[in-house]
Every structure is written in C-alpha cells, then in structure tokens.
Amino acid sequence: MKILAVIPARSGSCGIPNKNIRLIGGHPLVYYAICNAIQSSYITDIIVSTDSPEVKVVAEQMGVTCHWRRKELCADSVTLDAVIADAIPPNAGYDYIITMQPTSPTLKSCTLDRAILHAIENGLDTLISAINTPHLSWRVSDGGVVPNYTERLNRQYLPPHYMETGAFLISKASVVTSSSRIGPKVEVFEIPSDESYDIDTFEDLLCAKAALNPQKIAIYVNGNHEQGIGHIYRALEIADELMGKPDIYYDVNQTDKRVFGNTMHNLKPVNGIDELFSYCKREQYTIFINDISGTSIDYMAGLRSILPDAKIVNFEDGGEGAIKADLVFNALYRYAELPQVKAGAQYFIANKMFMLYRPIPIKEQVKKVFICFGGSDPQNYSDRLLSIISQKSYKNYEFVVALGRAKCNVDQLMEYNMFPNITVLYDVVNMPELMTSCDVGITSRGRTGYELAMLGIPTIAMAQNKREEEHGVICNENGFSYIGLNPPDEVIETTIKMYFEMSQESRQRFQDMLLQHDLRNGRGRVMSLIQNL
C-alpha cells in the first residue's frame, strides 16, 4: 500500500511571521510534522509543499522531497484542497493521501499510525484529527441566537463536540480533488489533549513550547512547632505559580500533614531521606526545590548524584549545602556570600491574598493591635502577650491574637476570649483582612513581619530562635522595632506603650520605611529566575 504525506508549509503567515520556521523546542516548527511522517510505519512517501527557501532547506536536510508551490496557490484565500492536489505526483498510484499541517508539533507518530490503521481497517474515505471539547454554546438562527444544547448540563455530561486540530486529515486518494478531500464515509479520530496544540496565535506557540519542554518539578518541605510552618506556606505559594502540579514531599517524622491545610496539591509523605531519594531516582525531576531551613553537604551531594541533570533551588538555606545549589533565595537575610544566593526582601514570596490589600492609613491614635507569631510560636510569645494585655492597664485598647496551625495549647489560649477587648483566633483564613483592621502589629522575625510590612503596619518584632536573630531585614533601620530574642516582659510592655503614645507623624515615618521594600513583586521575581535556570 502506497501512502503519501503532504505537508503544506508556505512562507506567508499573517498571525505569526515566519511561523513554520520558528524554533520551538530546539527545532523549526515544520520539523515536527516531517519527523512524524518519517517515523510512521505506514507512510511511504513525503512531500513538503512550500514557497519558502528556509522550509526547503529544513526538508532537504531531513531527506524529504519538496514541491515548489506556485504563487497563485500561496494566497490566504486559497484552500488546502487545491494545495494538496497540486502536490500529488501524477499517476503515482497512491492509496491514501495524508495532509499533515506543520502547526501541530505535539502530535506523536504512534497516534498518527493508530489513525492510519483505523482508516484502513474501516475502509474510510476520510479521517480527521479532532479533540472533544464540549461546551455550552450558541448559534445564530433567524437573526437571533439559540442554544446548541436543549438541556444545560455540566460540561462532562454534554454530548461530544469535536474540533479539528489540523494534525492530520487522511483521505483515500480517490476522493482528493482541487476542491475537496472529504469522501462520503468520514469519521473523526480523537487525539489526546496534550497532542492537540494547533498553532494559530502567539499564545498557542507559548503553550506548545511548554508542552514540548515539560518541567518535572518536585518540592521538599518540612514544618513543625519548632521549625515553624512558614516553609509550608511558601511551598504552597510556589506550587500555585507553576504550570502543573508538582510533587510536594514532606517527612512524616518532621511534619504533620494537617499543617498543609486544605490543598489539592500532590502531597507525598516520605519516611526519611532514603525514601525521598528513592522517589527522586525513579521520577528524575528537572527542577527540585528544597524548603527545609538548611541543607548539609551530604544531603546535597546525595541529591546531585541521583538527579544529575536537575536544577536544584533552595529557600532560606543557611546550611553548608547551599554551595551545591544552582539557586538559593534567602529573603529573610540581608547579604549573600555566594554568587548563586539571592538575598533580601525583594525575593519574598507573599501569600496571594495580600496582593489584594493596600497599606493601611495611619490614624491619629492607636486603638487596635494585631498579634501573631507565625504558625507555631515555639517561644510561646502568644502566651506571654496574652498574659500582659489581659491586665487592666490595657483595657482601653483592642487586641486581636492569631494562632497558627502548629501552635500548642490552643484551647487554653482561647479562654482569653472572655476579656471584652481581646479576640483570640485560630488558623485565620483571611489574614490580611484581619491585619488591615489594626494600627500596630507584634510578631516574630519571619514571614508575618514581611506581610505586616506589605500593609504598612508599624510592627514590633522578636526573634523566636538563634536562626531568626540572623534575619537582618526585619530591623530598626527598615521601620520595625526589633527587641531581640526572648526579651523581658518589661521591654515588651515599654515598647507597646511607646507605640500607644507615639504621634501619628512618627508612625507615618515608620510606615514609609516599611513600604520602601518591593515586597509585592517578589514572587514574580523569584519565579522568573527559577524558570530561566
């Protein structure tokens, strides 16, 4: 059986200039159609119909015959029927003619062969590549619009609605004329969605590029009462920025699944590093992200040995293993000692909810105070603050205390809700809404401090541990009132009362200093650097 594939690839393209020779996935677009035709088990001959010298070179380099298309067949108004008929050699005796447009680079040759076999076995005159895309839709009729479906159902329950993809149109040679390639016995052949890209726009081009060069990404993250769960929050924000669902690993010996909250991301528990490495060796990720506070040389060397081609990105890595990472983001630190380390507030990844809120107006007097020490509060600062503010001397001020998912003794602290000026909340859903209702913040030296700074809320900060003492961005010169690690109650009270008595102008100066950092654009900056590795 003789089967001819004709690939029409002219030079003109109004939508995307030079479309057929644009490099995508390292090859000219027309390359993919030619390659599929070459790899097919059924196609016996291939002809590229073109008026482009560049396309001709590509085809000839791949060992394929070119048919030089006449000028009158290159106009936008000319249909493919005439182009295909013109390219078929006379009296060649082909059984089937397959039109393969070069705009479907994600099509696989095995799918093409299954379609050819289906057409032959079922004696079809025409078989057209299509994708099933049922949607509620309307059509124009008698000057008005009417629904295409009589019953409004959810998409998955609608009857099939096939859209041609342009990947292939298989025709018996006997039905191919200069005005048609469709015979009486016609079917559509449904192709997988990831092979259905049909490039007509620049958006299509970007999507196809991503499909041809898929990134396989994993995140390894841990969080608990001692370590805090800011790492968990950031990992989920990173996952939301990626195209696709990365595998998110966590060690069951360090992290309770509940700290991830209600998420649809791919959470994968592992029992130690050996099991993590076993998964990585099998999956062979192209990008691997660590958000575990600090890495060791041994850990990074082991990860490199099983993922030799992967790009490794670490967050908040103060460990010696950072030297073996391709990229390190230390948003909480002021300075970078290694060339691959990006340090400073400009690399902070804010929760997306904070992007919807603007900085607070600085009021004449402080009336309401926000208190939160992250997701775990290992120093139990919340307990100490609640004990302080429950005194009678604070009764004229309102306090909101937010407790995180990994905080211990929550039930005990909830009892402070008995005080009329104190509200204690657990696992707050809309944190920026709560923050922006307040005039002053009190927090530790981590993510929550940056979030308060984004909203321009003058903030008192305390370190939770020795590691947080090194978080140099949250400091006095940047608009915070930093009072150290485990400060005495007297220092805490003195600082709070200072804010109560501070003038509006002084608190405005603090806000101006907090807002000088570009915290809102950090996530875009970070993701751009990762994607360009």
pTM: 0.76
Q: Is the pLDDT of residue 318 over 90?
A: no
Banded model confidence at residue 512, pLDDT cuts 50, 70, 90? very high
Banded model confidence at residue 181, pLDDT cuts 50, 70, 90? very high
Q: What per-residue confidence (pLDDT) applies to 173?
A: 96
Q: What per-residue confidence (pLDDT) applies to 293?
A: 82
Residues in CB range of 16: below 8 A, 6 or more apart:
22, 199, 200, 201, 202, 205
The answer to whether 450 and 330 have CB atoms below 8 angstroms apart is no
Distance CA 83, CA 177 (A): 10
Distance CA 491, CA 437 (A): 25
Distance CA 457, CA 354 (A): 13
User: Helices (DSSP H) in 428-521: which residue ranges?
Assistant: 431-435, 447-454, 466-469, 489-501, 504-514
Q: Angle 29-39/53-61 helices, nearest 10 degrees?
A: 30
Q: What per-residue confidence (pLDDT) applies to 206?
A: 87
Residues 463-472: pLDDT tens digits?
Answer: 998 888 988 8
From 134, 106, 122, 99, select the one nearest 192 (Cα to Cα).
106
Per-residue tokens: 326:
């391709």
Write phi, then psi, for 428 (nearest 5 degrees). Answer: -65, 135
Least reliable range by pLDDT among 399-408, 462-471, 521-530: 462-471
Single-letter amino acid, residue 422: I
Per 3-state DSSP, the chain is made up of helix, strand and coil in percentages (nearest 5) of 35, 25, 40
Q: What per-residue confidence (pLDDT) applies to 341?
A: 95
From 448, 520, 446, 527, select the one nearest 246 (Cα to Cα).
527
Residues 203-222: pLDDT tens digits?
Answer: 988 888 888 888 899 999 99
Please, what is the Cα angle at 49 between 44 and 54, to 5 degrees?
A: 115
From 84, 58, 54, select the one nearest 69 (Cα to Cα).
84
Mean pLDDT throughout 178-183? Answer: 96
Banded model confidence at residue 362, pLDDT cuts 50, 70, 90? very high
Which of the two residues, 76 and 369, has the higher pLDDT score? 369
Mean pLDDT throughout 45-59? Answer: 95
Q: Is the pLDDT of residue 277 over 90?
A: yes
The answer to whether 286 and 216 have CB atoms below 8 angstroms apart is yes
